[in-house]
Structure 1
């Protein structure tokens, strides 16, 4: 019986060491940004805003229906950017738009706005999600 238990535990341990096992990537340190100054983030990156101690993390682009470059569109289209805003142990998920509302959201005593999203779509080709760069700005919210 002891041999059976040992064999099961050994097999479980070996599976955890397999070359295909996925280990979560360490999170990159936060870049620094300044209050009232636009700052760019790539998908998966984050910045802590000095003077506000608010961290903005660019999670993903949920949808992108913006008009491709070189094409005449009736409507400019819209992209939805997902971000996580945090201060200490308080976190808030937000979806911000390039064309539609909301383009900004209030978080604690601050207003966090999406300024732009690049690259612009090109006709006939998809954007690799890792190439997206969103520019945000954090300001003090009006009291």
Structure 2
């Protein structure tokens, strides 16, 4: 009788413990989900997941792989770096695992076929020589941004409308053009001291254009410029964003919102990001290195082949099926992803 009683008591305790552990695990999992937004800081602990509902993106903080940052109370020759491993999902499909790094060799990652970028902006706490940081105490701050695929070239002419208030009485106009292919851009700003002034002041800026993130809702063309020659604009950088109707311009410490009078664009070829083991069109990627990709190229013209031919691409090299599709290597993130421009020419159909 005593043995049966003890066995029943032990079983009851096991059931209570199992129930408590299950409730605790469910509560922990529920607490591990953190709502986030695009371009906003995502603060995660190890084991937590952030979800950006507007883009259907989920990011999980798996572990810290390295923290060699110079302690705050020590003088070091090298600043060191910190790295974490994350996993990601886009539209309910796994986008793989990535290592993000801050410090010496900073590393970000691309998601959604190159549509999004993710980077780590901080990892707390910062090391102190006399303290040891337990894994559960780390907090990583991440930022997910949408990458804008700018057009190959843009020409825009804009001016402040005469009805606008607070912006020089409508006496500002701008004309700009840039080409990502040639790496050149020009901005001309015309301004008058008053609406009745007979002459305008002309400011000319020449800049090197680079792809940028859009800050204003509804903008389609976003460009950052590194100023290489300027007559009348202070600083080293400028930023422009263009929608169908509005041009946002930041230059020389001033911000302008201008009405677009003319906008001409020439589209950029589409881009595709591939990881090791992925295929798009004729190319199966097998190895991604620093500035190169190795894989198999599947040719369909003049004769379709079931087996791929070994191929090594460096930046600027092209893989093709011989007819409709061309993939040109743009850049690589070693062992993570490779970015290609993709051109499809349906005027050159492959044979059946």
Superposed pair shares fold, TM > 0.5: yes
- Alpha-carbon offset, residue 54 of structure 1: 0.6
- Alpha-carbon offset, residue 106 of structure 1: 0.5
Normalized per residue, which structure has more strand?
A: 2
Matched, 1:114 2:120: yes
- Alpha-carbon offset, residue 102 of structure 1: 4.5
Larger radius of gyration: 2
Alpha-carbon displacement from aligned partner over 1:68-94 (angstroms, at most 9, x marks no partner): 111111111111111111120323101
Matched, 1:137 2:132: no
- Structure 1 stretches of 4+ with a deviation exceeding 3 A read 17-20, 22-26
TM-score by length of 1: 0.78
| Distance (whole Å) between structure 2 residues aligned to residue 68 and residue 102 of structure 1 | 18
Q: Secondary structure at the match of 1:95?
A: strand
2:78 paired residue number: 75
Length, aligned pairs only: 127
Q: Secondary structure at the match of 2:35?
A: strand
1:28 paired residue number: 30
Gaps of 5+ in 1: 1-13
Q: Secondary structure at the match of 1:28?
A: helix
TM-score by length of 2: 0.33
- Alpha-carbon offset, residue 61 of structure 1: 0.4
Q: Which has the higher contact order (CA 8 A, sep 6+)?
A: 1
Q: Secondary structure at the match of 1:130?
A: helix
Q: Secondary structure at the match of 1:127?
A: coil
- Alpha-carbon offset, residue 36 of structure 1: 0.9
Alpha-carbon displacement from aligned partner over 1:18-41 (angstroms, at most 9, x marks no partner): 979x97934335211110111211
- Alpha-carbon offset, residue 50 of structure 1: 3.2
Q: Which moved more, 1:114-123 or 1:46-55?
A: 46-55
| Cα contact 1:42–1:132 (8 A) shared by 2 | yes
RMSD between aligned residues: 2.2
2:67 paired residue number: 64
1:84-99 equivalence runs, <5 A: 84-87=87-90, 88-99=92-103
